[in-house]
């Protein structure tokens, strides 16, 4: 019985918040000032809107990851891409 209730506790402790853990991109944005964050959000939109492919892209996840990494927020382009495509845990 003691084991059974421990099991229940373990299961119930897993809240929806745990399941929807925010990705590194969002957590990085939370460390920024409001001004920086809105600038990153504009960049994010630009990446989303840029319809070019490969070298014809002006704004890419790779570009954004380079900018962020250079400014002391190391992040991979695949993490950014996952977030932009809505395949991360955010929202
Ligand atoms: Zn995300």
- Answer yes or no: is pLDDT of 57 > 80: yes
16: confidence class by pLDDT, cuts 50, 70, 90: low
Average pLDDT over residues 31-50: 95
C-alpha 26 – ligand 1 centre gap (Å) = 6
Q: Tell me the CA–centroid distance for residue 48 and ligand 1, in Å.
A: 14
Q: How far is the CA of 54 from the centre of ligand 1 (A)?
A: 23
Residue 88 has pLDDT above 70, yes or no: yes
CA of residue 89 to ligand 1 center, whole Å: 6
Taking the C-alpha atoms of residue 64 and residue 71, their distance in angstroms, rounded to an integer, is 11
Gap from CA of 58 to ligand 1 centroid (Å): 22
What are the tokens at 63? 């570009």
Mean pLDDT taken over the chain: 88
- Does residue 20 surpass a pLDDT of 80? no
Helix axes 77-84, 24-31, angle to 10 degrees: 100
Spacing, Cα 52 to ligand 1 middle (Å): 23
């Amino acid at each position: 019985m003691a084991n059974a209730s421990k099991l229940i506790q373990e299961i119930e402790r897993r809240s929806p918040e745990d399941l929807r853990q925010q990705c590194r991109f969002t957590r990085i944005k939370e460390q920024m000032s409001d001004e920086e964050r809105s600038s990153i959000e504009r960049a994010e939109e630009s990446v989303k809107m840029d319809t070019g492919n490969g070298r014809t892209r002006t704004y890419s996840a790779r570009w954004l990851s380079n900018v962020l990494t250079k400014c002391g927020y190391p992040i991979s382009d695949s993490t950014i891409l996952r977030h932009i495509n809505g395949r991360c845990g955010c929202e």
